[in-house]
Amino acid sequence: MIKRAISLACAGLFACLVAAAAGDNAGRQVDEVRVMGLARASEQLIRSKLETQPGQPFNPGAIARDIRRLYDMGYFSAIQAETSEEAGKYIVGFVVTEKRVIDSIKIAGNKKLRERALRGAISWQEGDSFVPEAYPEERDAILKLYQSKGFPNATVDIVAEDIGPGRVRLTYAINEGGKARIHAIVFSGNQAVSDRQLRKLMKTKRAWWFLGGKYDEATFESDLKTVMDEYANRGRLEAAIPKTDFDYSANGKSVTITVFVSEGPEYRVDTIEVADNEVFDTDEITRLFELKTGDIHNKSQVAKDAELVSKGYEDSGYINASVAPQVTVDREKKATHIVYRIAENDLKYIKEIKVTGNSVTRDEIVRRTMMALPGERFDGGALRASQRALENTSYFEAVRLTMENVPDDDRFANLLVDVDEGKTGSFNFGAGYSTEDRFGGNIELDLKNFDITNWPTFSGGGQEFRIKLQLGQVRSQYSLSFTDREFLGLPLSFGFDVYDESYDQGDTFREDTRGAQVRLGKMLSPYVGTRVALRYNDVKISDLPSLGYPTLRRERGDGTTASLMWGINRNTIDVPRDPSSGSSHDFMIELTGLGGDYDYYRLAHDSTWHYAFGKEKNWIVTFRTRQGWVDEYGGSDFVPVSARYFAGGASTIRGYDSNKVGPKERRFVIFGKKRPIGGELLLLDNLELKYKINKTFRVYTFVDSGGVWREAGDFSFGDMKYSAGLGFGVDIPKMGPIRIDYGIPLNPDPDQGNGRLHLMTGFKF
């Protein structure tokens, strides 16, 4: 603008000078008009703007007007007019300097801030005129943005490069410098919510020693929104954050963030209404609401109440129902009026279930897992359970359930099940160490979506086939298992197992077991199933000391058992591998004596409850209780050691040595080393608190209790053992979960240590 004003002034001065010196030229005819200095602008367009033309009398005023018109076109940064005479011709020339245009803008060196944010801070854009005088303003805009994001030491260089006639490429070369660590987060203006409560809401934290304190723009903006949501949940509907200040230290290495809060007045609920409902009475709906009249207005609870009503409609077949809460604010009374407007829409029935995306898994495998059938009304609860069941099969990476309207029939809709096939087969091998089994190696082939009839891929049938070989210092196992969850097209599962196992009890004895079993199962409801199995075992006890341990020595040699087992279970756990909610309950009866050398019966119960709490449901309380009782009958006068219960170790009472809780026997009655012999009664309880740090890491604290008694009549609470401890878990992609627990026995026997480290695979205890 300054240059243009100067040029216009020069044009006026030129006209005055020409007029003063035009005595000899007054009235002379202009023979030629020249335009000089053009590179990009059209000469024809420029000439069309000129009042001065060949054949016209010379007119200084017309020249001054021509200069102003050319400036107004915006193409030129400087314009001069001059006259000359060549070969008797009187020539008027316009010498122009075209503006340079920004052809492209490149931003380099930015790693912490997105390019989109930087481009939003600068004023130059592609196609704009290049004005070097704007350098400081552009540089300061970027530096100010970096300072506001915690980078007080950033520097910016702007490099202009000519890449053609009148075209410039700009490069913003940024050195972000070291980021200042957060020294403190201070709140100003807050009274209803303390600084401590507000800081707990934020993921942005101050530095602690050499850890943390990094500023992240997106996280901080999300934190401010979380703070405002908390105020809205406390009835402060007019709360606002007018500004935030960043105060840097002299060396630029630390920053104090001040968040200014305007809390506003507190609002309470004056009225709650339900509108447009016909299917359910208003009283039925309002009974679901947590928020009542007279309560402090809670924004989140209003949304939760609406979601709860919507879920009730979905579970009743009104799958398209929607509930929209409308809040009216009375600023004078500091009150709110809530109206839940319900669009019920039509009751929908399932006409057809369409399965897509399953390139490997057969349609019927997906359909049999569904807990909704064609002809039934849509049930939101059944659909959620179906999706969870499909996800828990491990056949699919993703499962999506949607609805498709049926033309010309408002009563019916198609249920669309779209899946992404996952990798259901795995071949694993390796070596490792656990505190229970010590060093060992294993090879395992596990095909979870097996199809014995589908040669040569053997996949897509929903069957499971597993071969496992494990060699270790303490335990070795060879096994083959097969399961068909819908045997011969019937709603029955069928499976069998063949196994050979050995367990070395150190210097006491070695137990070798060979056996097989056949299994049948039936689902009685979406969550309840029953099973029956016929098992045959051949157990050999060997490597016993030549003298001593009378209880164990009576089992020297081979012993066979034939057992019939029946069990029933109920399972509502959300994710089997790492549960957060739901429960599982299992009860089993085993009767041995259908042949073989031993007659005994066994009763076993195992129940687990999971409860998640906290804003993000990342705290989980788990309680597990187990009881077992085994006793001989008929021609047997004792229960074999292979059927007795043992406790102590990673899966029972942590902190105690493996299998060392319960009855023990001295080698020679009154002297010699004690060895566990197992018992006929088992009681175990485990209470655990888990915190999910993120998708990968977990930390735990736990309390375990339990005991084993030689016979049920020996039970005494005084024999119970207790422990407490901490744990850490990590889920390694494609390898699975690994967990380390350290338990401390609270009332150990004299031969028990003061603590024990347990290394396991799997998050469940």
Q: Can you give the pLDDT at residue 258?
A: 94
Cα distance between residue 763 and residue 743, in whole Å = 16
Q: What is the mean pLDDT of residues 444-457?
A: 88
Q: Where are the domains of the chain?
A: 2-98, 101-175, 181-262, 268-343, 349-421, 520-761
Sheet holding 254-262, edge to edge: 181-188, 254-262, 240-248
3-state secondary structure 297-353: CCHHHHHHHHHHHHHHHHHCCCCCCEEEEEEEEECCCCEEEEEEEEECCCCCEEEEE
Most confident by average pLDDT, 95-104, 177-186, 229-238, 644-653? 229-238
Q: What is the mean pLDDT of residues 535-539?
A: 93
Q: Can you give the pLDDT at residue 18?
A: 47
Residue among 185, 207, 220, 218 nearest 253 (CA): 207
Residue among 39, 156, 42, 163 nearest 103 (CA): 163
Q: Find out whether 15 and 61 touch, Cβ atoms under 8 Å.
A: yes
For the chain, report the end-to-end CA distance as a whole number of angstroms: 76
Cα distance between residue 348 and residue 648, in whole Å = 54
Q: What are the start-end ranges of the E strands in 141-291?
A: 155-164, 167-175, 181-188, 240-248, 254-262, 268-275
Q: Where is pLDDT greater, at 3 or 101?
A: 101
Q: What does the DSSP assignment read for 606-644?
A: EEEEEEEESTTS-EEEEEEEEEEEEEE-TT-SS--GGGS
Q: What is the mean pLDDT of residues 343-360?
A: 92
- Any residues with CB less than 8 A from the CB of 307 and at least 6 apart, and which? 323
The yes-or-no answer to whether 181-262 and 349-421 have a common fold is yes
Q: Is the pLDDT of residue 751 over 80?
A: no
Q: Can you give the pLDDT at residue 394?
A: 84
Cα distance between residue 510 and residue 544, in whole Å = 7
Burial environment of residue 728 by CB neighbours within 10 A (0 to 12, 13 to 18, 19 or more): middle
Q: Give the DSSP letter of residue 13.
A: H
Burial environment of residue 679 by CB neighbours within 10 A (0 to 12, 13 to 18, 19 or more): buried
Tokens of 198: 């507000």
Superfamily of chain region 101-175: membrane protein fhac (3.10.20.310)
Q: Which fold has domain 268-343?
A: Ubiquitin-like (UB roll) (3.10.20)
Q: Is the dihedral of CA 434, 438, 442, 447 positive or negative?
A: negative
Q: What is the mean pLDDT of residues 156-179?
A: 83
Is the domain spanning 520-761 CATH 2.40.160.50? The answer is: yes
pLDDT tens for each residue of 559-614: 899 999 999 999 999 888 788 999 999 999 999 988 888 999 999 999 999 999 98
Q: Where is pLDDT greater, at 194 or 248?
A: 194
Q: Can you give the pLDDT at residue 84?
A: 87
Q: Beta-carbon neighbour count of residue 615 at 10 Å?
A: 9
Q: What is the mean pLDDT of residues 605-624?
A: 93
Q: Can you give the pLDDT at residue 435?
A: 60
pLDDT band at 101 (very low <50, low <70, confident <90, very high): confident
Q: Can you give the pLDDT at residue 23?
A: 45
Lowest-confidence region among 154-163, 657-666, 727-736: 727-736
Q: Which CATH architecture has domain 181-262?
A: Roll (3.10)
pLDDT tens for each residue of 42-75: 788 888 888 888 888 888 888 888 888 888 877 7
Cα distance between residue 414 and residue 374, in whole Å = 9
Q: What does the DSSP assignment read for 439-490?
A: EEEEEEEEEEEE-TTSTTT-BSSSEEEEEEEEEESSEEEEEEEEEESSGGGS
Q: Can you give the pLDDT at residue 732?
A: 75
Q: Which CATH architecture has domain 2-98?
A: Roll (3.10)
pLDDT tens for each residue of 311-336: 999 999 998 899 999 999 999 999 99
Q: Where is pLDDT greater, at 239 or 16?
A: 239
pLDDT band at 504 (very low <50, low <70, confident <90, very high): confident
Q: Can you give the pLDDT at residue 36?
A: 86
Q: Could you tell me which residues are beta bridge partners of residue 169? A: 104, 161
Lowest-confidence region among 287-301, 621-635, 638-652, 729-743: 729-743
Per the rule left: phi > 0, alpha: psi between -120 and 50, beta: everything else, 659 is: left
Helices (H), ranges, 36-184 = 43-48, 60-72, 115-121, 135-148
Q: Is the pLDDT of residue 697 over 60?
A: yes
Q: Is the pLDDT of residue 5 over 60?
A: no
Tokens 């018109």, located at residue: 69
What are residue 98's phi and psi, to 5 degrees?
A: -70, 145
Cα distance between residue 142 and residue 109, in whole Å = 13
Cα distance between residue 264 and residue 272, in whole Å = 23
Cα distance between residue 327 and residue 343, in whole Å = 17
Question: Percentage of the chain surpassing pLDDT 90?
Answer: 42
Q: Can you give the pLDDT at residue 673?
A: 77
Q: Is the pLDDT of residue 104 over 70?
A: yes
pLDDT band at 532 (very low <50, low <70, confident <90, very high): very high
Q: Can you give the pLDDT at residue 16?
A: 47
Q: What is the mean pLDDT of residues 687-691?
A: 96
Q: Can you give the pLDDT at residue 428?
A: 67
Q: Is the dihedral of CA 684, 688, 692, 697 positive or negative?
A: negative
Amino acid at 295: D
Q: Where is pLDDT greater, at 166 or 235?
A: 235
On the question of a cis peptide bond just before residue 57, with omega within 30 degrees of 0, the verdict is no
Q: Find out whether 704 and 654 touch, Cβ atoms under 8 Å.
A: yes
pLDDT band at 765 (very low <50, low <70, confident <90, very high): very low
Q: What is the mean pLDDT of residues 326-349?
A: 94
Is the domain spanning 349-421 CATH 3.10.20.310? The answer is: yes
Does this model's pTM top 0.75? My answer is no
Q: Can you give the pLDDT at residue 630?
A: 96
Q: Can you give the pLDDT at residue 699?
A: 95
Q: How does the average pLDDT of the chain come out, rounded?
A: 86
